[in-house]
Amino acid sequence: MKTKCLIIGSGPAGYTAAIYASRANLEPVLIEGYQPGGQLTTTGEVENFPGYPQGVDGNMLMDDLRKQALRFGTNIQNGQVTKVDFSKRPFTLTTDTATYEADTVIISTGATARYLGLDDEQKYMGMGVSACAVCDGFFYRDKIVAVVGGGDSACEEATYLSGICKKVYLIVRKDYLRASKVMQRRVLDNTKITVLFNSNVIGLFGDPVLEGAHIIEYAGTEREQKYDIPINGLFLAIGHDPNSKPFSEYVATDPQGFIIANGQSQATSVPGVFAAGDVCDPTYQQAVVAAASGCKAALDAERFYIENQA
């Protein structure tokens, strides 16, 4: 299939790029991947997307963005981009089911949840370990769970789980929470949440399902101590890694793998290839910022297409 503009990813960045590219007559094709709607579909209420004074369900927000992209004629395809050739234009991109040729490309593949890297995580995957409270919290009704992390995601997940579970531990490796003040307050004022500061999970136990975690507190100091907590579920909320792998042979990335967008525009190191959203945002990682960068990427792609037509 040949297109003037291929958009990869279906989060706020991808759909917003699609809305703008469609309205600019670029007749975009959007590949929505295996998780249509992206990370917001695993969130509950989104309270800080402008225009929704009462908040909005993450799935509903993404569904509305999808419908808006379709309304202007975006061609939405399913698949996972596994291989690209950005060495010449038109660019070639291969998914598990099709091959595309594109005059311009917008990469908006987002980011994926990080795990601690413990062997035990794999052992209990699907039987106690999760990176999505909204997806899996239901299975831990009236049970004891722990959330790892000290950012907004961790506080949001702990607060959400406190409405379902008997008790929630929040395991924070530093002596403070990195989350915004309002999220911190919700956690610290919640009697069902116990925050374990200066603590890390070093192992898990239980047979065959998770029964507890080995904790180390004040590791490497005189105050170091190890103890166990009884938990039925462990939720990881320790950040995300950018989904830039299929493209990193061609486009420049920073040491963490975030695609580098040049200056004021969303241009990557490859002329005609643009990036938007969390895949190129190590700093803000907000839905509204992703949407804005999707808009910029589409405007950049339109300009590039017009200036480089044969």
| Residues between 140 and 169 with contacts to ligand NDP, criterion CB under 6 A | 148-154, 156
**Three-state secondary structure call for residue 186:** helix
Which CB, 136 or 152, lies closer to ligand NDP?
Answer: 152
What burial class does residue 202 get, using C-beta atoms within 10 Å of its C-beta: 0-12 exposed, 13-18 middle, 19+ buried? middle
Distance CA 113, CA 122 (A): 14
Distance CA 252, CA 298 (A): 20
Pairing label, strands 45-46, 56-57: antiparallel
| Residues between 21 and 60 with contacts to ligand NDP, criterion CB under 6 A | 48
36, 79, 90, 239: which one contacts ligand NDP (CB under 6 A)?
239
Q: Examine the residue annotation and report whether 135 is marked as an active-site residue of this protein.
A: yes
Which CB, 41 or 74, lies closer to ligand NDP?
Answer: 41
Build a one-symbol-per-residue string for 66-105: x at contacts with ligand NDP by CB under 6 A, - elsewhere: ----------------------------------------
Which of 64, 85, 96, 135 is labelled catalytic? 135
Distance CA 174, CA 253 (A): 28
Cα dihedral sign, 34-35-36-39: negative
Which CB, 18 or 238, lies closer to ligand NDP?
Answer: 238
23, 89, 173, 214: which one contacts ligand NDP (CB under 6 A)?
173
For ligand NDP, the nearest residue by Cβ is 151
| Residues between 182 and 201 with contacts to ligand NDP, criterion CB under 6 A | 200
Find the distance separating the first CA and the last CA of the chain, reported in whole Å. 19
Which CB, 103 or 281, lies closer to ligand NDP?
Answer: 281
